[in-house]
């Protein structure tokens, strides 16, 4: 379906510079876009491409000022990236929606099912599970006993949700994610063996949480592991037992949070970050990729390194890290000079 610049601008409440009647039927990256496509410019590093892109329409921020002629029609909006997200969401909703329960799915008699569901082939919904309205569960998922999945949530193929866990409204869980596996709890014994500690808690995902592919969230030993409203977790993340992650925190791939730690709201955590157990991360904290956090951090801090410490101090110290070999040589030369001077004066 084609859309004109005028229609898109009205939807986004934007301002047109160029031909309001030009139309597009696809969305492309700015450096690859051809005639008939829409693209966007949000990162200044890509500004060079706007002058030779083949895109018919480009979304730009309102403060964008071209330094030379632009062939494309521009739509100026408050935030080009957010505007693109709105268009992509609208496009996704326009696609055909899957509905119905496959004859190849297994649904236990005591499970409670809402309206307008999709349950794919070879999915199992066990005893006592509650699946509310407009939920989509793609093929080969396993929903254990007494699980609750609230309205509008989507589980992609191969998701496993263990017993008693709760998935909130409008959550998205990507393929291979496991919600509610046992926490890593073992009691050392005198004979150097380990006795497993039963994990009798659950996992609670509050509303509008997104969980990436192959991410694992362990059930609590007692009580709940809680992922609060609006949290976004990337692929391949490990969240251990009894962890709490605060509202609207985002965590990039391959990070791990050890047991009983608490992460505040509105935090931004880079990839491959490790957070030790039983510590607290305050609200609005930013942690750079590959950092290792072994002690609690106060609200609003920006940290990096392993062990992690204040970002500004790390940047200053890094200059010395890189020159460490030279510094050692200078110290060796100074010691040699001092020794020679002492020798001459004796």
Q: How many residues belong to the chain?
A: 346
Over its C-alpha atoms, the chain yields an Rg (Å, rounded) of 27
Distances (CA, A) of 74 to 22, 56, 202: 11, 9, 50
Specify whether 21 is catalytic. no
DSSP labels for 128-173?
Answer: T-EE-TT-EE-TT-EE-TT-EE-TT-EE-TT-EE-TT-EE-TT-EE
* Nearest one of 147, 158, 99 to 125, comparing CA atoms: 147
Find the catalytic residue in 21, 174, 208, 241.
241
Distance between CA atoms of residues 292 and 155, nearest Å: 31
CA angle 42/46/51 to nearest 5° reads 105
Three-state SS string over 256-278 comes to EECCCCEECCCCEECCCCEECCC
Q: Which residues are catalytic?
A: 241
């Amino acid at each position: 379906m084609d859309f004109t610049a005028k229609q898109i601008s009205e939807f986004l409440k934007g301002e047109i510079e160029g031909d309001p009647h030009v139309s597009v039927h696809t969305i492309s990256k700015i450096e690859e876009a051809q005639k008939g496509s829409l693209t966007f410019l949000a990162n200044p590093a890509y500004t060079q491409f706007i002058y030779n892109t083949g895109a018919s329409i480009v979304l730009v921020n309102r403060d964008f000022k071209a330094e030379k002629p632009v062939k494309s029609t521009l739509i100026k909006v408050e935030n080009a990236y957010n505007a693109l997200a709105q268009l992509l969401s609208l496009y996704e909703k326009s696609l055909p929606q899957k509905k119905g329960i496959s004859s190849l799915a297994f649904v236990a008699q005591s499970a409670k099912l809402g309206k307008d569901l999709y349950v794919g082939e070879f999915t199992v919904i066990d005893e006592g599970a509650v699946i509310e309205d407009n939920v989509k569960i793609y093929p080969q998922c396993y929903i254990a006993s007494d699980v609750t999945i609230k309205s509008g949530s989507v589980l992609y193929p191969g998701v496993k949700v263990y017993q008693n866990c709760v998935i909130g409204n409008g959550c998205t869980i990507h393929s291979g994610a496991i919600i509610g596996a046992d926490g890593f709890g073992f009691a050392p014994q005198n004979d150097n063996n380990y006795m497993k500690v039963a994990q009798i808690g659950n996992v609670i995902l509050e509303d509008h949480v997104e969980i990436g592919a192959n991410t694992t969230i362990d059930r609590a030993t007692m009580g709940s592991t809680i992922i609060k409203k609006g949290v976004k977790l990337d692929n391949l993340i490990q969240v251990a037992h009894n962890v709490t992650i605060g509202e609207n925190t985002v965590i990039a791939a391959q990070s791990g949070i050890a047991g009983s730690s608490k992460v505040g709201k509105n935090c931004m955590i880079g990839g491959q970050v490790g957070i030790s157990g039983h510590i607290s991360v305050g609200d609005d904290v930013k942690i750079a990729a590959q950092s290792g956090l072994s002690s609690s951090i106060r609200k609003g801090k920006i940290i990096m390194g392993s062990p992690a410490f204040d970002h500004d101090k790390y940047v200053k110290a890094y200059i010395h890290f890189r020159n460490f070999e030279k510094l050692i040589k200078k110290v060796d030369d100074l010691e040699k000079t001092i020794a020679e001077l002492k020798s001459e004066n004796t």
